[in-house]
């Protein structure tokens, strides 16, 4: 079997899967000096189109997996960018068939991290290296520089590191890529990135909704507000693109595009994975969960239609000072956003502990500063917070963020109260505030829950005044006895 392409050229890197992400990543790789890129797609038309549309890239196209392997110099390195799930397994099986020990397979798709752990173990047994790498930035990021979160072995990172550094986004002179940790660590961190992305998007959407309903401003006027916010502490990619979306006018009706888009949000699953994983780890990612549920609720048209006539409040959102209200919403958004990141980092800490990964939180915040969807100005503050205290128990308690909370929390409360009084759903704003108040509460009603659990299930409780585990004989004489801790 030939080990070179039809032209005899060799590629140092390959890409399998040439839809939106793969085709742009392949072009990004090809644009960096020294790279020659082999490309393969299940249906050959996509490969042909990419080659025809981008002759400058010098791609080496392959029609079969055998040809693809033969085109790559050894050790072969290939990045898979296909539909997550069965598609990824199918491609891995084919690559394992044509690759050799020492070669490297990188899955750059949005794989569930437990799948990555399974795949890494299985592929490693063949002598081939497998790396799960989260890649964020969408189409534009893939082309011009994404944020990359690779897991896998230290050995793979030696080969892969320079290639990934060459294509990653650059923030303040540093490439937005780091070796996150072993096996599934990279995909775990990408999953949390997406969870935060869901929360941030929902919070921005709630801010828009409240301003629109509270002040009657048009989408274009609200776009101006977001553009202004993007010059301050809220500066971020999501705020920036929100202004663009709100400014867009529908060509066929002349209406703001946002008013003709069906209000049912889709989801590909990474937000739900974050919440499911956090539940397993016992981490309250309530802001992220509300964002996932808000999309689910929006996509239940039959239930929404059936509930449309249910009674609401007597009052509407009565804003006497629109400028002050907009400023309150801005502060509520900033406070809630801090909570979303704080909860996301809590999940990273818990995941690292559970799976034995040495994840540097400050490094993760640093590689999210550029290329990815949640890139934001305040990620530098997160890096600084973890540098100052690597054992920080909750991001929100770091001095910078605690100060931000002190500054914003009254406005946050006013916004949540106003929304509730006017019947405007703001699940992410309000659940983030409840989380904040829960964290700082001196005493929680969890004590009563423990009493209830002990009543119906003899689940026992601890006391505040002495060590030990206790149970009250609820169906007997109601005296208290020492018991075995059942949690």
Ligand X SMILES: O=C(CO)[C@H](O)[C@H](O)COP(=O)(O)O
Ligand Y SMILES: NC(=O)C1=CN([C@@H]2O[C@H](COP(=O)(O)OP(=O)(O)OC[C@H]3O[C@@H](n4cnc5c(N)ncnc54)[C@H](OP(=O)(O)O)[C@@H]3O)[C@@H](O)[C@H]2O)C=CC1
Active site residue 315: no
Q: Which of residues 117-136 bind ligand Y (CB under 6 A)?
A: 135-136
Task: Please report, in range form, the residues annotated as the binding site.
Answer: 17-22, 41-43, 82-84, 110, 136-138, 193-194, 198, 268, 295, 453, 459
Phi, psi of 93 (to 5 degrees): -55, -45
User: Following DSSP, what letter does each residue of 433-470 receive, concatenated?
Assistant: HHHHHHHH-SS-THHHHHHHHHHHH---B--SSSSS-E
User: 23 vs 215, which CB is nearer to ligand Y?
Assistant: 23
**Range in contact with ligand Y (rule: CB under 6 A) among 77-85, 154-162, 209-217, 374-382:** 77-85
Per partner kind, with CB cut-offs from 5 to 8 A, the member of ligand X, ligand Y, none near residue 194 is ligand X
Cα–Cα distance, 475 to 133 (Å, whole number):
56
- When asked if residue 241 is in the footprint of ligand Y (CB under 6 A), the reply is no
Strand partners, 236: 376
Cα–Cα distance, 239 to 251 (Å, whole number):
23
Cα–Cα distance, 135 to 402 (Å, whole number):
31
- Taking the complex as a whole, the smallest distance from the CB of residue 359 to ligand X amounts, in Å, to 18
- Taking the complex as a whole, the smallest distance from the CB of residue 135 to ligand X amounts, in Å, to 8
User: 132 vs 427, which CB is nearer to ligand Y?
Assistant: 132
- Taking the complex as a whole, the smallest distance from the CB of residue 425 to ligand X amounts, in Å, to 19
- 8 Å CB contact between 395 and 287: no
Q: Which residues contact 284 (CB under 8 A, 6 or more apart)?
A: 278, 343, 346, 435
Strand partners, 133: 150
- Taking the complex as a whole, the smallest distance from the CB of residue 81 to ligand Y amounts, in Å, to 5
- When asked if residue 19 is in the footprint of ligand Y (CB under 6 A), the reply is yes
- 8 Å CB contact between 168 and 143: no
- When asked if residue 81 is in the footprint of ligand Y (CB under 6 A), the reply is yes
Question: Nearest Cα to 335, choosing from 200, 198, 208, 193?
Answer: 200
Per partner kind, with CB cut-offs from 5 to 8 A, the member of ligand Y, ligand X, none near residue 17 is ligand Y
User: 214 vs 271, which CB is nearer to ligand X?
Assistant: 271
Q: Which two tokens stand for residue 320?
A: 């006497």
- 8 Å CB contact between 418 and 214: yes
H or E stretch at 134: strand 129-136
User: 70 vs 84, which CB is nearer to ligand Y?
Assistant: 84
User: How many C-beta atoms lie closer than 10 Å to residue 425's C-beta?
Assistant: 16
- 8 Å CB contact between 150 and 136: no
- When asked if residue 138 is in the footprint of ligand Y (CB under 6 A), the reply is yes
Task: Please report, in range form, the residues annotated as the binding site for NADP(+).
Answer: 17-22, 41-43, 82-84, 110
Question: Nearest Cα to 471, choosing from 351, 429, 484, 134?
Answer: 484
User: 268 vs 463, which CB is nearer to ligand Y?
Assistant: 268
- 8 Å CB contact between 159 and 104: yes
Choose which of 109, 175, 271, 344 interacts with ligand Y (CB under 6 A): 109
Which residue number is nearest to ligand Y in terms of Cβ? Answer: 109
User: 89 vs 233, which CB is nearer to ligand Y?
Assistant: 89
Phi, psi of 133 (to 5 degrees): -125, 120
The footprint of ligand X (CB under 6 A) covers 110, 136, 138, 194, 197, 267-268, 270-271, 373
H or E stretch at 149: strand 147-150
Task: Please report, in range form, the residues annotated as the binding site for substrate.
Answer: 110, 136-138, 193-194, 198, 268, 295, 453, 459
Question: Nearest Cα to 108, choosing from 73, 74, 83, 86?
Answer: 83
**Range in contact with ligand Y (rule: CB under 6 A) among 15-23, 48-56, 247-255, 333-341:** 15-23
Q: Which two tokens stand for residue 247?
A: 């400014």
Q: Which residues contact 481 (CB under 8 A, 6 or more apart)?
A: 470, 471, 472, 473
- Taking the complex as a whole, the smallest distance from the CB of residue 244 to ligand X amounts, in Å, to 16
Per partner kind, with CB cut-offs from 5 to 8 A, the member of ligand X, ligand Y, none near residue 21 is ligand Y
Per partner kind, with CB cut-offs from 5 to 8 A, the member of ligand Y, ligand X, none near residue 42 is ligand Y
Secondary structure class of 81 (helix, strand, coil): coil
- Taking the complex as a whole, the smallest distance from the CB of residue 201 to ligand X amounts, in Å, to 8
- When asked if residue 339 is in the footprint of ligand Y (CB under 6 A), the reply is no
Active site residue 190: yes
CA distances from 91 to 15, 85, 86, 130 (A): 11, 10, 9, 13
**Range in contact with ligand Y (rule: CB under 6 A) among 18-26, 285-293, 431-439, 466-474:** 18-26
Q: What is the number of H-type helices and E-type strands within the chain? A: 20, 11
- Taking the complex as a whole, the smallest distance from the CB of residue 268 to ligand X amounts, in Å, to 4
Per partner kind, with CB cut-offs from 5 to 8 A, the member of ligand Y, ligand X, none near residue 267 is ligand X
Per partner kind, with CB cut-offs from 5 to 8 A, the member of ligand Y, ligand X, none near residue 183 is none
Q: Which of 67, 94, 120, 190 is catalytic?
A: 190
**Interface ranges with ligand Y (CB under 6 A):** 17-22, 41-43, 46, 81-84, 86-87, 90-91, 109-110, 135-136, 138
Catalytic positions:
190, 197
């Amino acid at each position: 079997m030939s080990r070179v392409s039809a032209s005899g050229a060799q590629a140092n890197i390959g890409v399998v899967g040439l839809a939106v992400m793969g085709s742009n990543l392949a072009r990004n790789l090809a644009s960096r000096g020294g790279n020659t890129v082999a490309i393969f797609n299940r249906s050959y038309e996509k490969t042909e189109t990419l080659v025809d549309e981008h002759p400058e890239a010098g791609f080496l196209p392959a029609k079969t997996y055998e040809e693809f392997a033969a085109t790559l110099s050894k050790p072969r390195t290939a990045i898979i960018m296909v539909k997550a799930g069965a598609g990824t397994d199918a491609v891995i099986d084919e690559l394992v068939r044509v690759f050799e020990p020492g070669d490297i397979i990188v899955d750059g798709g949005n794989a569930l991290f437990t799948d990555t752990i399974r795949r890494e173990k299985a592929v490693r047994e063949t002598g081939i290296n497998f790396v799960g790498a989260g890649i964020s930035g969408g189409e534009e990021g893939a082309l011009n520089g994404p944020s990359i979160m690779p897991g896998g072995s230290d050995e793979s990172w030696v080969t892969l590191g320079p290639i990934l550094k060459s294509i990653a986004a650059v923030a303040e002179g540093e490439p937005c890529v780091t070796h996150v940790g072993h096996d599934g660590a990279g995909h775990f961190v990408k999953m949390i990135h997406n969870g935060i992305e869901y929360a941030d998007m929902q919070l921005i959407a709630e801010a828009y909704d409240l301003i629109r309903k509270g002040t009657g401003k048009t989408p274009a006027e609200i776009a101006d507000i977001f553009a202004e916010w993007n010059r301050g502490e809220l500066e971020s990619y999501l705020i920036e693109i929100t202004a663009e979306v709100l400014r867009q006018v529908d060509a066929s009706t002349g209406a703001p595009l946002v008013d003709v888009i069906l209000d049912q949000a889709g989801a590909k699953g990474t937000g739900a994975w974050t919440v499911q994983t956090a539940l397993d780890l016992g981490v309250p990612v309530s802001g992220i969960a509300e964002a996932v549920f808000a999309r689910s609720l929006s996509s239940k048209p039959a239930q929404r239609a059936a509930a449309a006539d249910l009674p609401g409040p007597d009052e509407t959102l009565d804003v006497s000072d629109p400028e002050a209200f907009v400023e309150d919403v801005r502060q509520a958004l900033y406070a809630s956003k801090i909570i979303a990141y704080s909860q996301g980092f809590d999940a990273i800490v818990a995941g690292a502990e559970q799976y034995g990964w040495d994840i540097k939180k400050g490094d993760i915040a640093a590689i999210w500063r550029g290329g990815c969807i949640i890139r934001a100005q305040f990620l530098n503050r997160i890096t600084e917070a973890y540098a100052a205290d690597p054992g920080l128990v909750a991001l929100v308690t770091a001095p910078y963020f605690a100060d931000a909370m002190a500054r914003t929390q009254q406005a946050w409360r006013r916004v949540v109260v106003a929304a509730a009084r006017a019947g405007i759903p703001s699940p992410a704003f309000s659940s983030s505030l409840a989380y904040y108040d829960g964290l700082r509460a001196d005493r929680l009603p969890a004590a009563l829950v423990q009493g209830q659990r002990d009543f119906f299930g003899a689940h026992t409780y601890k006391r505040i005044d002495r060590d030990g585990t206790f149970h009250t004989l609820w169906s007997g004489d109601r005296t208290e006895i020492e018991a075995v801790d059942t949690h």
